[in-house]
Amino acid sequence: MRRIRKDDQVEVIAGKDAGKTGRVVKVFPERSRVLVEGVNYVKKHERISAPRGGAQEGGIIETEAPVHLSNVQPICPSCGESTRVGYVYETEGDRRSKVRSCKRCDGTF
């Protein structure tokens, strides 16, 4: 089970964008990185290309780059603060499931 998943609200805790918050767009577990919406913009030099559908402009384009997992912290939906993640087991009848929980308020998400 992963501590940070797609569509989680996270806060950047280290780096040039420390203090900013955003939604996780994509998770790269093999590289231990996440792509956060509105965070870590980098300038990329694009060459002019001519795909079948139409020409694409070249130049300097600003795009979002992935951030390392250790530099982001999830925001708890119940208390609204960035927090560490713990796990609790919930039982429903004869089924038992592992659920992420907030270390501050013990709420689950």
Q: Are residues 87 and 71 in the same domain?
A: no
Q: Are residues 39 and 4 in the same domain?
A: yes
Q: Are residues 62 and 95 in the same domain?
A: no
Q: Are residues 17 and 64 in the same domain?
A: yes
Q: Are residues 28 and 71 in the same domain?
A: yes
Q: Are residues 69 and 104 in the same domain?
A: no
* In the predicted structure, residue 98 carries a pLDDT above the cut 90: yes
Number of residues that this document lists for the chain: 109
Q: Please, which residues bridge with residue 26 across strands?
A: 35
> Rounded CA gap, 68 and 40, in Å?
11
Q: Are residues 93 and 66 in the same domain?
A: no
Q: Are residues 71 and 105 in the same domain?
A: no
Task: Give me the numbers of helices (H) and strands (E) for the chain, helices first please.
Answer: 0, 9
Mean pLDDT for all residues in the chain: 91
Q: What is the pLDDT of residues 45-83, one digit of tens each?
A: 988 877 766 667 788 999 999 999 999 999 999 999 999
Q: Are residues 63 and 94 in the same domain?
A: no
Q: What is the CA radius of gyration of the chain?
A: 18
* Domain ranges, residue 108: 80-109
Q: Is the overall model pTM greater than 0.85, yes or no?
A: no
Q: Are residues 65 and 88 in the same domain?
A: no
Q: What CATH number should be reported for the domain holding residue 26? A: 2.30.30.30
Q: Please, which residues bridge with residue 74 across strands?
A: 10
Q: Could you give the number of structural domains in the chain?
A: 2
Q: What is the mean pLDDT of residues 98-106?
A: 93
